[in-house]
Structure 1
Amino acid sequence: MNPNEYNPKRPKPQPATLNSSENNRRQNTQHWRLCGEEMAETYEPLDFEFEDPIPSSPVAKKKKKLIGLDDLLEDYQKEQKKLNEKKSKRTKIRKVSEAEDEFDDATEARLSECVDKCEKEMNQVGGDDEMPFWGIQVFGDQKNFPQQEYPDVKSSVLLQSFLNHEINSLVELNIEKGENFLEGLLVDGWLLNLVYICGSVERSIAGWIFNLMLYSSNETLVTAACEFWCSVLITKDKADLPNIKIDWLPRYLDLKRALENYGFLPSSPPTSSSDVDMVHNGSSTAGPPPNIRSWIKCVGVCCQTRNTLSIFSIPEAEELLFIIASFFLDRQLLGLSVILHECMLSALNFFRYEEWHDCCNKVAKSLASRLPRDINCLRVVESIVGVDTRSKQLRSAASFQFLVAFLDEKVSDAEEILRLLISINVKDKNCDLFKMYICLNLAENWLFLDPGVKENRSIQRSWGIFLQNCACGITITDSRSYASNVRCKASYLLQGTTK
């Protein structure tokens, strides 16, 4: 038997006993071997790393092409051909556009001609003409204002009492500067307070302040003087205010003289309304001065003081009422319409009850005889806008007198006036329809504002016939001037008459 063969009965050899250091060394060696095997397994190569690399074909190098003169010439000819084709297209487009523009211009010209023709025909059929502008030249060139001196002002009791007062030792007022001192008191309102305290207005002081109001070029002084006189006169008229003694009062002649210096034209023939401008050639002396505002206010206050002060007579008040009414015809005074209406109302209330009827007719006749018989008469009538009884009566009377003047007949009866209006043939081509339009408006104001005529059935029946003649006698196709104005106005008034 081979000794090296395995024999189960043979005892197993026992390992030799090793010391502890050797044993530790072997354990460490075995440990690191195992760690190395694990790391080797972890960092094994990936599958794609064993794939064959992708074969890459070598980049073919571009060969440089040589450009000859023939190639350059061919390219130039191609570009030139393209440019010629573009120019040809642009020329064709321009010609087409010009042809279209010429066609559009011709079409527009024919359309414009057609529109003008239709407009002319419509104007001929409609007959709507613009009303002429109202307005006359009431004020012409101003005159040189009088330079009045008032030496009595320096010797007035009011100024002397102030000079002799002990307070003058502080002010040291000189008598030569007394007028300037009084002007300062007037502007500040102290002069009016001194008059209230003294209870009187000296003659020299009153005339001096009145002259400043009418002729001074200092607007501040003019306004202060006007307020002074209005306050003094109103205080005199009211019983509950302190009584003030006034040594001098303005007169109608003083106011009329001032109006003449302002350039008022009462007797000159009035300028046609179509020739009136808002500004007269830019002249500094044309038209009324700013003092006209104070003049109007003063006249209104003077008319309110008849119960206590006798300033105007009845004929003078009638003339003032005519002047105020004529002011409404000057376009330069449009900004003063409010104070003009207030002044007119004061002038209307100046007359007593028993005086008013005759005075109203006189003023109406004066307006109809001295003012132009055109569109301006409607302006005057419409300027009397008060809702009180006297305003309505004056408006009706003025309309009647203007209507009589328009008809140029010696008639004074209402039925005769309407008979003349009815006899007018509005279908006649020679009929003045503008004149008929003014008569229609005047008759309206006359009949509607006169209660006595308004209640007369015979007059109302004749009025209805006249309106029917104007509304039905003028057709819608009437091409005469103002035909449409008369027809529409009469149709409107006829509806109210029917109701």
Structure 2
Amino acid sequence: MLLDDPLDFEKEDPLLPKGRPAKRKKVIGLDDLLEDFFASGKDELKASGVESKHGSKGYNSDDEDKKVREKEIKFRKFVEEYEEQSKELDAGDDVPQWGQRVFGCQKSPSIPSATGVENCQLLQSFSAHEHLGFDLNIEQGEGFLEGLLVDGWLLKLVLLHGSVEDSIASWALTKLLYSCNKKFRVAASDFWDNVLSLNEADKLSVDIGHFPSYSVLKSAILNYGYIFDNRTEVSTSESVIADDGPPQNIIEWLKIISTCCKIRNVHSIFSSSEAEELLVIVISLFLDRQLEGLLLILGDCLSSLILYFNSSEWESSCLTVAQSISQRVTMDLNCLRIVDCITGTDYRSKFLRSQLALQFLKISFGLKVANAEKILKSLTSINVKDKECNFFCLTILFHPGPEQGFLSSARCGLEKICWRC
């Protein structure tokens, strides 16, 4: 080998190709072709630039593509027409959300300045011990009782003594209903819950002569701003929120009603008519969006009121309650909200739901009959193909609820309507 001769590895082919590879053609997707086609409408120009891959199989691909394009054009026109029609329907059928104004402006309660609590035997017993240094007067007497109430000693002394003085009971109830201090009203609520509890013998734990009356509870809810009998002030929208917000004592108000209802077998605090009005108030509270966080407390109070009535009173009282509520609630989604809020599975809850649905249907369809069978006959005569048919009212019949009573019969009636059509 000569020194100037190339080496062996220098004779090998170079690793890199001498020339650049040919550029790949840009892949045109089907979506791009469709967009260009519908944008310009010139199918001949688009079709001329695309060569069919199926030309060698013996059929005319141009005719097949033309049929597909015609179907696409028809489908697109159908979608555009449907969209225009749906926009017109949406503009005319604007259904408001559920929600009614239940509380207005709150009022200042008229609480008497002299409660007489300074003369109660409990304070007198403390003032009799001179070594305690307790100077009895109105301000110090109430302040001393407030400390006993919050610390739980007032309840222990009452249970030890076995009775509750009327002045202390009235004073604790006032703290429960009107106190701005959360500690005082919560402590007063616990005090009343224990005082009205039953022992193992199904009797009250202590002797008490002053019970919470309907007049006191009604006066309290009116002071909270509750719109009791004025339907003209009730409006439906999200913007109707009470100026002062939800009452801060409404939780304790609901709890004291539940407690009073649970001792019906021992002491009947409310009459049947008073319990009916309280039931109407509690059901109407479900329409206030500000109270959605209190659904458990509202449900417990509702169940207690439903079970408060005797068996002989329930059917007539239920009809009265349903008629009263139907006159207060507007005929929109609030109707379904009211029926839906009664979630009990017992017979009384199912019967109340049925009566509410019955009253709403009578008002919605303008029926003047009181019998469920006659209402069903009127409903089966409805022509659902008519453009004037109110399908919103018919949705009340489909509302899930009791398997007994009017709603179940109404669903059977609707099946007849659908089969006829």
Percent sequence identity is 41
- Following the alignment from structure 2 to structure 1, what is the Cα–Cα distance between the partners of residues 105 and 270? 27
Match of 2:147 in 1: 184
Given candidates 390, 405, 415, the residue that maps to 1:450 is: 405
- Following the alignment from structure 2 to structure 1, what is the Cα–Cα distance between the partners of residues 264 and 309? 9
Residue 465 in structure 1 maps to residue 420 in structure 2? no
Q: Which runs of 4+ in 1 moved over 4 A?
A: 113-119, 124-131, 270-274
Give, as a single letter, the amino acid of the residue that structure 1 aligns with 2:161.
C
Match of 1:174 in 2: 135
Match of 2:171 in 1: 208
- Following the alignment from structure 2 to structure 1, what is the Cα–Cα distance between the partners of residues 202 and 393? 54
Post-superposition Cα deviations, 1:99-128, rounded to whole Å, max 9, x if no partner, equal xxxx99xx7xxxxx9999577347359979
**Other structure's SS at 2:216 match:** helix
- Following the alignment from structure 1 to structure 2, what is the Cα–Cα distance between the partners of residues 116 and 182? 75
Match of 1:368 in 2: 326
The change in CA–CA distance for 1:265 and 1:414 in structure 2 (over 3 A counts) is same
Post-superposition Cα deviations, 1:445-482, rounded to whole Å, max 9, x if no partner, equal 57x3318x85x8xx77644212445xxx5xxxxxxxxx
- Following the alignment from structure 2 to structure 1, what is the Cα–Cα distance between the partners of residues 298 and 342? 10
Q: Is the 1:263–1:288 Cα contact (8 Å) retained in structure 2?
A: no
Q: Structure 2 matches for 1:419-498, cutoff 5 A?
A: 419-438=377-396, 440-441=397-398, 445=401, 448-450=403-405, 462-468=413-419
Given candidates 231, 241, 266, the residue that maps to 1:269 is: 231
Give, as a single letter, the amino acid of the residue that structure 2 aligns with 1:216.
S
- Following the alignment from structure 2 to structure 1, what is the Cα–Cα distance between the partners of residues 176 and 232? 29
Given candidates 133, 139, 158, the residue that maps to 1:195 is: 158
Given candidates 195, 198, 207, the residue that maps to 1:245 is: 207
- Following the alignment from structure 2 to structure 1, what is the Cα–Cα distance between the partners of residues 232 and 292? 18
- Following the alignment from structure 1 to structure 2, what is the Cα–Cα distance between the partners of residues 160 and 116? 86
Displacement of 1:148 in angstroms is 2.5
- Following the alignment from structure 1 to structure 2, what is the Cα–Cα distance between the partners of residues 389 and 249? 30
Q: Is the 2:197–2:205 Cα contact (8 Å) retained in structure 1?
A: no
- Following the alignment from structure 2 to structure 1, what is the Cα–Cα distance between the partners of residues 78 and 411? 45
Give, as a single letter, the amino acid of the residue that structure 2 aligns with 1:331.
R
Match of 1:257 in 2: 219
- Following the alignment from structure 2 to structure 1, what is the Cα–Cα distance between the partners of residues 356 and 229? 20
TM-score, length-normalised on structure 2?
A: 0.74
Q: Is the 1:278–1:332 Cα contact (8 Å) retained in structure 2?
A: no
- Following the alignment from structure 2 to structure 1, what is the Cα–Cα distance between the partners of residues 174 and 225? 17
- Following the alignment from structure 1 to structure 2, what is the Cα–Cα distance between the partners of residues 233 and 131? 46
Given candidates 142, 158, 171, the residue that maps to 2:106 is: 142
- Following the alignment from structure 2 to structure 1, what is the Cα–Cα distance between the partners of residues 167 and 377? 61
Match of 1:356 in 2: 314
Given candidates 160, 178, 196, the residue that maps to 2:124 is: 160
- Following the alignment from structure 2 to structure 1, what is the Cα–Cα distance between the partners of residues 305 and 322? 14
The change in CA–CA distance for 1:242 and 1:275 in structure 2 (over 3 A counts) is closer
- Following the alignment from structure 1 to structure 2, what is the Cα–Cα distance between the partners of residues 264 and 467? 43
Unaligned runs of at least 5 residues, structure 2: 1-34, 40-75
Give, as a single letter, the amino acid of the residue that structure 1 aligns with 2:105.
D
Q: Cα RMSD (Å) of the superposition?
A: 3.2
Residue 304 in structure 1 maps to residue 268 in structure 2? no
- Following the alignment from structure 1 to structure 2, what is the Cα–Cα distance between the partners of residues 409 and 383? 25
The change in CA–CA distance for 1:174 and 1:331 in structure 2 (over 3 A counts) is same
TM-score, length-normalised on structure 1?
A: 0.63
Post-superposition Cα deviations, 1:411-446, rounded to whole Å, max 9, x if no partner, equal 1233321222222222222333333334x336x657
Displacement of 1:408 in angstroms is 1.1
Which 10-residue stretch deviates more, 115-124 or 386-395? Answer: 115-124
- Following the alignment from structure 1 to structure 2, what is the Cα–Cα distance between the partners of residues 137 and 227? 30
The change in CA–CA distance for 1:277 and 1:449 in structure 2 (over 3 A counts) is farther
The change in CA–CA distance for 1:203 and 1:115 in structure 2 (over 3 A counts) is farther
The change in CA–CA distance for 1:238 and 1:304 in structure 2 (over 3 A counts) is farther
Q: Is the 1:150–1:204 Cα contact (8 Å) retained in structure 2?
A: no
- Following the alignment from structure 1 to structure 2, what is the Cα–Cα distance between the partners of residues 404 and 251? 35
Q: Is the 2:165–2:208 Cα contact (8 Å) retained in structure 1?
A: yes
- Following the alignment from structure 2 to structure 1, what is the Cα–Cα distance between the partners of residues 234 and 202? 50
Aligned residues: 347
Match of 1:335 in 2: 293
